[in-house]
């Protein structure tokens, strides 16, 4: 079983659901469980697809793709979401293009010590990611100021904020419905932003 609730297969999908499934299809033609779990409410699938693509795959984003994936992976690690972590850490390590670097980053983040592998703006982003994920009610203006002081512009800060917010949302959806990667292609990375 891939989730604790029913997920509708394509062969019995309504026209409305088929439209949502078409939008949610991956480059390899499948619909991952993260999207299919919305099949009883196609409008939530449409919203999820649009939010995901805007947060992580928009051409206007300027943070490097590897860093976007590391941010999402760190949120998923902190939220103990095995589904998102499996997919997005595979992407992050692929994009880092150095297995040694990827291992060092993963170890430091698992220990919640990003300062062991990051500095400057990247370290500031990891600290912001950790605080916003674990203690959102404790956020203060100084947290954003630290990002600005590290050299990030407000657009980059917004990008990071939206990635963190998206992953907090999806981690709770996945964990709350028991969604697994059974049947999914884990860590697929096409290299395109589509």
**51 and 93 share one domain:** no
Residue 187 lies in a domain: no
Kindly give, in sequence order, each residue whose CB lies less than 8 Å from that of residue 113, ignoring residues fewer than 6 positions away.
none
Average of per-residue pLDDT across 114-125:
99
**45 and 115 share one domain:** no
- Report pTM: 0.94
Residue 144 lies in a domain: yes
pLDDT of residue 194: 33
**108 and 153 share one domain:** yes
Helix (H/G/I), strand (E/B), else coil: 48 = helix
**74 and 165 share one domain:** yes
The mean pLDDT of the chain is: 95
Give the CATH number of the domain where residue 146 resides: 1.20.1290.10
pLDDT of residue 189: 56
* Count of domains observed in the chain: 2
Q: Convert the pLDDT of each residue in 168-178 to its tens digit.
A: 999 999 999 99
**Which residues form the domain of 21?**
14-56
**Own/partner pairs, 152-158, CB within 8 angstroms, 24+ separation:** 152/121, 152/124, 152/125, 155/62, 156/62, 156/63
**49 and 133 share one domain:** no
Distance CA 145, CA 7 (A): 44
Residue 31 banded pLDDT, cuts 50, 70, 90: very high
**50 and 80 share one domain:** no
pLDDT at residue 193 greater than cutoff 60 = no
Residue 189 lies in a domain: no
Residue 154 lies in a domain: yes
Residue 180 lies in a domain: no
**91 and 130 share one domain:** yes
Q: Convert the pLDDT of each residue in 124-155 to its tens digit.
A: 999 999 999 999 999 999 999 999 999 999 99
**41 and 135 share one domain:** no
pLDDT of residue 190: 55
Residue 3 lies in a domain: no
**44 and 133 share one domain:** no
**69 and 94 share one domain:** yes
| Residue of 87, 94, 85 whose CA lies nearest to 66 | 94
Residue 6 lies in a domain: no
Residue 192 banded pLDDT, cuts 50, 70, 90: very low
Average of per-residue pLDDT across 78-99:
95
pLDDT at residue 162 greater than cutoff 70 = yes
């Amino acid at each position: 079983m891939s989730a604790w609730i029913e997920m509708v297969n394509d062969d019995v999908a309504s026209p409305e659901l088929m439209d949502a499934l078409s939008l949610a299809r991956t480059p390899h033609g499948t619909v991952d469980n993260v999207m299919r779990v919305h099949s009883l409410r196609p409008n939530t699938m449409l919203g999820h697809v649009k939010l995901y693509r805007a947060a992580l795959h928009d051409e206007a984003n300027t943070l490097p793709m590897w860093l976007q994936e590391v941010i999402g992976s760190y949120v998923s690690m902190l939220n103990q979401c095995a589904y998102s972590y499996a997919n997005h850490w595979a992407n992050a390590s692929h994009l880092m293009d150095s297995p040694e670097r990827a291992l060092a980053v993963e170890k430091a983040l698992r220990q919640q010590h990003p300062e062991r592998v990051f500095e400057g703006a990247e370290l500031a982003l990891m600290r912001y990611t950790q605080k916003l994920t674990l203690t959102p009610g404790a956020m203060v203006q100084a947290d954003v100021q630290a990002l600005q002081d590290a050299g990030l512009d407000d657009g980059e800060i917004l990008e990071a904020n939206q990635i963190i917010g998206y992953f907090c949302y999806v981690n709770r959806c996945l964990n709350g419905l028991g969604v697994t990667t059974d049947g999914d292609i884990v860590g697929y990375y096409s290299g395109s932003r589509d």
